[in-house]
A and B are shown apart, each in its own frame.
Chain A
Amino acid sequence: MGNWYWWMLLGMAVVTYLPRAIPLTFLEGKELPPAVSGVLRNIPYAVLGALIFPAILYAQPDDLLFGVIGLASAALIAWWGGGVMGTVLGTIAILAVYSLLAG
Chain B
Amino acid sequence: MQREGLSAGLKAGLTIAIGYFPVALTFGLLAKTTGLSLIETVAMSIFVFAGAAQYISLSLIAAKVDPILIVLNTFIVNIRHFLMTASLNEKMQPDARWKKAVYAFGITDETFSVISTTGDGRVRTSYAAGVIILSYASWVIFSGIGHVIGANLPLFLQAAMSIALYAMFVALLIPSLKGNRKVVLLALTAAAMNGFFFWSGLLSTGWAIMVSTLASAIFVEILYTRRGNVIRRAVERKEGA
Residues of A within 8 A of B (CB): 1, 4-13, 15-17, 19-25, 27-29, 32, 35, 37-56, 59-60, 66-67, 70-71, 73-75, 77-79, 81-89, 91-93, 95-96, 98-100, 103
Contacts and interface: CB of A to CB of B under 8 A. Distances in A.
Contact of B83 (A15, A47, A60): A47
Contact of A53 (B112, B194, B224): B194
B10 interface: no
Contact of A59 (B163, B192, B209): B163
Contacts of A81: 175
A49, A55, A82, most chain B CB atoms within 10 A? A49
A86 B175 CA distance: 13
A81 B174 CA distance: 9
B70 interface: yes
Given A12-B48, A16-B81, A55-B166, A92 B160 contact: yes
A8 B71 contact: yes
Interface residues on B, range: 35 or more
B173 interface: yes
29 contacts: A9-B48, A11-B71, A12-B53, A15-B78, A16-B50, A16-B81, A19-B81, A19-B85, A20-B82, A21-B104, A24-B103, A27-B89, A38-B225, A39-B214, A39-B217, A40-B90, A42-B216, A47-B80, A51-B52, A52-B170, A60-B159, A66-B159, A84-B16, A84-B110, A93-B160, A95-B163, A96-B156, A99-B159, A103-B155
SS of B interface (majority): helix
Interface of B: 15-16, 18-19, 22-23, 35-37, 40, 43-44, 47-50, 52-53, 57, 61, 67-68, 70-72, 74-75, 78-90, 92, 94, 97, 100-101, 103-105, 107, 109-110, 112-113, 116-117, 155-157, 159-164, 166-176, 178, 182-183, 186-195, 198-199, 205, 208-209, 212-214, 216-218, 220-221, 224-225
